Structure 1
Amino acid sequence: MFTQRFSKALTIGTVCCSAILPSAAFAAEKVVLTYGPFARSVPIQEFETLASTGKATGELAELLKLAKEDPKEAQQFLTYDVKVDPITVDGVLNTAPGEFLLSELAKVVHTKSDRANVQALRSALVLSASKNDSLTLLELLQNYPTAELYIDGVQLKKDVKEVNSLLGSVHSYLNHLQCNCSSATASAPTGQ
């Protein structure tokens, strides 16, 4: 009971502070993409430009070119809008499954010090949802509560492989469950 009240008070406080104080005090200024010993820093402004124009600039343009990614697809990924209620987001993220999800996500997206990652993600998600009852990846980047947001490329690649493997297993299982209805109907007795 106390935890729920505290959580709601914290959420309301975060939203109120964000409305009163300048947004730069709470917003990430750059995304640092790491891949093992390598790191590249991309200003949030470049993600904003890509989201609004579909054109990549600066460091982000170089990274997309290296990854052979289409800027238009990256734009769609950044701006894909999920309608959500901020109270629901806060409630779900403060449950055991929500905490687990945040802790898994925090292995990929984290602070420079790699501390308070779950809290930073929760704050960014709730703040993003509270602004317009929706979430986009761009809003998450913009509302991350530290100057730098780190994305671990090695962990991301590992997680994508695991998710793809899981999706492949689910797809195979669902295909196995599908009946061959036309064959079953043709061989069924007619009841005459």
Structure 2
Amino acid sequence: MLLHSCFDLLPSLAAEKVTVRYGLFEQSIPVADIRNFGETQKVSGDLKSFLGYFSAKDKQKFQDALQVKMSLDIAALDKLINTGMGKQILSFVSQATVFPTRSAIARSDRGSIQALRSAIILGAKSPEGLGITSFLEAYPSNQLVFDGSKISQLVSMANLSSGSASAPPKDNVSSSPLGQIALQYQILAAQDKKFSGCLFGDSVSAELGNTLGNGTFNFGLNGLSTISLVEQLKSLIPTKVKCEKAIIAIGGNDAWYGISDELFSKNLQEAIALVRTMGNKEIFLIPAFYSTVAASLDPTIAAPLPRVEQINVLINQVAETEKVPVEAAGLAPLYENNVLKENLTSDGDHLNAEGLKIYRQALLQILQK
């Protein structure tokens, strides 16, 4: 296990405020204000000033991001951040952090990486799991300073798929740094494990984290399509992971990426065959998620609704061929006439906290059958 005893000896050292520097601009926010905003949506004076630079859409995304709390396998996480890939990611992230001159830790790249590593492990050990707030509260310095000019590079790295008017979106899960490290964590965490339920899906599923109960595992990955799902399963099978029940929630990104009917059906059938090698008793399919009308008309956000509808026709056809059920009833409250309800999404394509409650309950009903 990672050694961070030097930080354990200094329990008073934790980030009390976060500062963003961009050229001559500097804004500091107490970490307590960030936690309060995440829990109650109440905005302090300092945070209000900072959020003044955000659009309404970005404010909601920030609020949603604060709700993400990941329950992680600490041993697997420890191994992950000590791999070559993990060290590269930490090194990259450390370039956007600046140690205050009065920090208890000597200002150096090595010190910055060690601090990030410690905050990740200690944040993951917190009762609520690893999230933005638990990470900040575990950071071994009373102030965490970000170089705003480099934050955009981190955001670009986090984008597993993107689209523009001139370049349609594509599946970049296997080639993106975050996609690779997320899959590597899953490989380490699943090694020789047996789960009562496994969820395979894209970003909508990934947002749930491991909140489906003890003995389950969420293998959801941002940007996942049937192309990367097949690659993911091929990487997981050598771990000898076992899943008694498996839920496959896929299709929205296939529609968005423009994957053909033939390739989608072929990939989904191959994915089902691969999941069957994991010793499961039952496999369930979930229909592809619909977006709002506005999001479906923007090719940089989501697929056209008619294309999602066609993907769902294909899912039902594959399900009939493979003799696996499609569970759609539990998702019905999310939609009105096959369109995502505006009050259940923050961006037109993903679910907000209320939408995730409905989705989680639908999955629990399946797993408890």
Both structures adopt the same fold (TM-score exceeding 0.5): yes
What one-letter code is carried by the residue in structure 1 that aligns with 2:25?
F
Match of 2:260 among 175, 179, 182: 179
Match of 1:137 among 119, 124, 132: 132
The answer to whether the 8 Å contact 1:32/1:148 transfers is yes
CA distance 1:47–1:94, change in 2 (3 Å): same
Cα RMSD (Å): 2.9
CA distance 1:161–1:73, change in 2 (3 Å): closer
What one-letter code is carried by the residue in structure 2 that aligns with 1:37?
L
Partner residue of 1:168?
A: 162
Greater length-normalized contact order (CA 8 Å, ≥ 6 residues apart): 1
1:79 aligns with 2:67: yes
- Measure the CA separation in 2 of the matches of 1:41 and 1:104: 23
Partner residue of 2:118?
A: 123
CA distance 1:122–1:163, change in 2 (3 Å): closer
TM superposition score normalised by structure 1: 0.74
Partner residue of 1:48?
A: 35
- Measure the CA separation in 1 of the matches of 2:46 and 2:142: 18
- Measure the CA separation in 2 of the matches of 1:144 and 1:61: 23
The aligned length equals 169
The answer to whether the 8 Å contact 2:161/2:169 transfers is yes
Deviation, 1:177, is 7.8
Partner residue of 1:152?
A: 147
Deviation, 1:72, is 4.6
What one-letter code is carried by the residue in structure 1 that aligns with 2:170?
S
Deviation, 1:38, is 1.5
The secondary structure found in structure 2 opposite 1:33 is strand
TM superposition score normalised by structure 2: 0.41
Q: Deviations over 1:162-191 (max 9, x none)?
A: 554x62379335767822439xxxxxxxxx
- Measure the CA separation in 2 of the matches of 1:64 and 1:133: 25
The answer to whether the 8 Å contact 1:84/1:133 transfers is no
Quote the sequence identity (%): 26
Q: Deviations over 1:130-177 (max 9, x none)?
A: 22372101111111101110112111123324554x623793357678
The secondary structure found in structure 1 opposite 2:161 is helix
1:98 aligns with 2:86: yes
Give structure 1 stretches of 5+ with no counterpart: 1-7, 183-192
What one-letter code is carried by the residue in structure 2 that aligns with 1:82?
M
Runs of 4+ in 1 over 3 A off after TM superposition: 69-73, 161-164, 173-177
